[in-house]
């Protein structure tokens, strides 16, 4: 018996064949359209819905041909809030499930959104792939570079449609900007700079307290080595700043614009990495830098940098987030939104492309709601039609690895060479130890 999920997958393959060789024998274009199921809803489950996951659920709920049928979170309050939000937007009431392992056993589940804390990203994605579910994986794709390698192999092995949350790859004017760079609007590009600036407060020194009754602390930790004592400054957002669960500001926000630079400059992995910075402003439990400069050299003739300032929100190029491409005849700047500017070597503005749809600075949950629809529909078309993904697993994993390399250089206080074919660290034992991580027994990532 053919399941809904198998039908949608076969329909996608059939659509690809039609686009290459015409309508399948025995069917008119009209009848074939009906078979593919333009009205067939893709049933999705959202995993991790406290903040960004709630926003993603709402975004997908607004998409035609998509139904958020299930919501999964270890925080009962977050799950209930998301269910209510989806019902308000789309009219249906999703089923709640605390344990993603049980969620992935559901037969009529076609795809999942993964927006958990970062230590869960890659393990959850791998589990979903093994269960045959299509995956929309939020950035960063992983907690460490080894997980990115596993995910890229897993997509090939399990043949799963997997998109990553590098949503700017779907924004019309960002696509146009990158196209102009490749066409030579500023000549040969040799340097790219990305940045993120914010005014985050101190997270203080946590007090050991009882685990809240609404939280399954054991399942929240999942694949991460156990922290037995629960502190009141771990959840929900502060886990970003702890090595055991997060990837710091570089993984949290740097990946977006490192990705655009890599895209526009036709780069993959670097050959040389270093990082400087520290936790300068506050003395608290925050482990990653609040101020960081990452340098990534590519073959001796191209350089990209990322500047992160978590505790001083002074803009660069009139934007709290963005990137700039520096070429032989000018500079192209992309801020946080769907717009860009081009300057000549005398700093004269020679072109400006604007958009009413913009980035909401300081919104940690849903800063680009209108624009993200382009990305969501691309993922759904990948499932339904077999369309090429704008940000597939390789895009997300390679760009995430750049952020990881910067963090590894920072944590070890070392500079190192890397293999440009796979990013492996060369002749640096301390740095190489951070290529992967230890897992809680029974949660190891295995293909």
CATH number of the domain that residue 15 is part of: 3.40.50.720
Indicate left, alpha or beta for 225 from its phi (over 0: left) and psi (-120 to 50: alpha). beta
Whether the pLDDT of residue 132 is over 80: the answer is yes
Q: What residues make up the domain containing 59?
A: 4-168
Which pLDDT score is estimated for 371?
Answer: 87
Contacts of 18 (CB under 8 A, 6+ apart): 24, 32
72 inside domain: yes
Which pLDDT score is estimated for 22?
Answer: 34
Q: How far apart are CA 203 and CA 385, in angstroms?
A: 46
Whether residues 202 and 98 fall in one domain = no
Number of domains in the chain: 2
Cβ atoms 140, 118 nearer than 8 A: yes
Tell me whether residue 249 is exposed, middle or buried, using C-beta atoms within 10 angstroms of its C-beta: 0 to 12, 13 to 18, 19 or more. buried
Whether residues 199 and 147 fall in one domain = no
375 inside domain: no
Whether residues 275 and 157 fall in one domain = no
Whether residues 91 and 50 fall in one domain = yes
What would the pLDDT profile of 144-195 be if each residue is shown by its tens digit? 999 999 999 999 999 999 999 999 999 999 999 999 999 999 999 999 999 9
Whether residues 41 and 127 fall in one domain = yes
444 inside domain: no
Average pLDDT, stretch 25-40? 38
Strand ranges of the sheet holding 340-344, from the earlier edge strand across to the other edge: 349-353, 340-344, 330-334, 321-327, 189-197, 302-309, 291-298, 272-278, 416-418, 425-426
Q: Kindly report the pTM of this predicted structure.
A: 0.90
Q: How far apart are CA 388 and CA 408, in angstroms?
A: 33
Which pLDDT score is estimated for 370?
Answer: 75
Whether the pLDDT of residue 14 is over 80: the answer is no
What would the pLDDT profile of 300-318 be if each residue is shown by its tens digit? 899 999 999 999 999 999 9
Identify the band that residue 25 occupies on the pLDDT scale cut at 50, 70 and 90.
very low
């Amino acid at each position: 018996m053919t399941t809904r999920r198998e039908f949608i997958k076969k329909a996608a393959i059939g659509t690809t064949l039609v686009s290459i060789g015409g309508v399948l024998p025995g069917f008119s274009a009209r009848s074939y359209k009906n078979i593919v199921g333009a009205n067939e809803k893709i049933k999705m489950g959202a995993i991790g819905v406290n903040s960004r996951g709630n926003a993603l659920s709402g975004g997908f709920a607004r998409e035609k041909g998509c139904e958020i049928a299930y919501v999964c979170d270890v925080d009962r309050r977050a799950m209930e809030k998301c269910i209510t939000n989806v019902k308000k937007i789309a009219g249906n009431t999703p089923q709640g499930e605390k344990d993603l392992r049980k969620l992935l056993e559901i037969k009529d589940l076609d795809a999942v959104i993964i927006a958990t804390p970062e230590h869960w990203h890659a393990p959850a994605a791998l589990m979903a792939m093994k269960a045959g579910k299509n995956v929309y994986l939020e950035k960063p794709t992983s907690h460490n570079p080894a997980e990115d390698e596993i995910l890229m192999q897993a997509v090939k092995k399990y043949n799963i449609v997997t998109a990553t949350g590098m949503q700017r790859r779907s924004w019309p004017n960002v696509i146009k900007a990158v196209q102009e760079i490749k066409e030579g609007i500023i000549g040969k590009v040799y340097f790219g700079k990305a940045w993120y600036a914010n005014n985050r407060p101190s997270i203080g020194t946590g007090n050991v307290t009882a685990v809240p009754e609404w939280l399954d602390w054991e399942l929240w930790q999942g694949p991460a080595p156990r922290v037995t004592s629960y502190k009141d400054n771990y959840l929900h957002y502060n886990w970003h700043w702890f090595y055991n669960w997060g990837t710091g500001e570089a993984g949290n926000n740097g990946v977006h614009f490192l990705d655009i630079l890599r895209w526009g400059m036709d780069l993959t992995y670097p050959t040389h990495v270093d990082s400087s910075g520290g936790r300068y402003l506050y003395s608290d439990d925050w482990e990653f830098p609040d101020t960081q400069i990452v340098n990534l050299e590519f073959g001796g003739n191209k350089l990209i940098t990322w500047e992160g300032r978590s505790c001083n929100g002074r803009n660069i190029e009139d934007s709290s987030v963005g990137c700039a491409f520096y070429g032989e005849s000018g500079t192209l700047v992309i801020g946080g939104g769907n717009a860009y500017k081009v300057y000549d070597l005398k700093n004269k503005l020679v072109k400006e492309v604007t958009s009413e749809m913009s980035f909401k600075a300081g919104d940690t949950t849903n800063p680009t709601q209108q624009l993200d629809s382009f990305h969501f529909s691309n993922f759904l078309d990948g499932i339904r039609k077999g369309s090429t993904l704008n940000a597939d697993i390789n895009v997300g994993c390679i760009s995430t690895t750049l952020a990881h390399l910067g963090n590894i250089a920072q944590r070890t206080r070392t500079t190192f060479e890397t293999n440009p074919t796979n990013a492996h660290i060369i002749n640096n034992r301390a740095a190489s130890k951070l290529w992967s991580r230890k897992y809680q027994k029974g949660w190891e990532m295995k293909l």
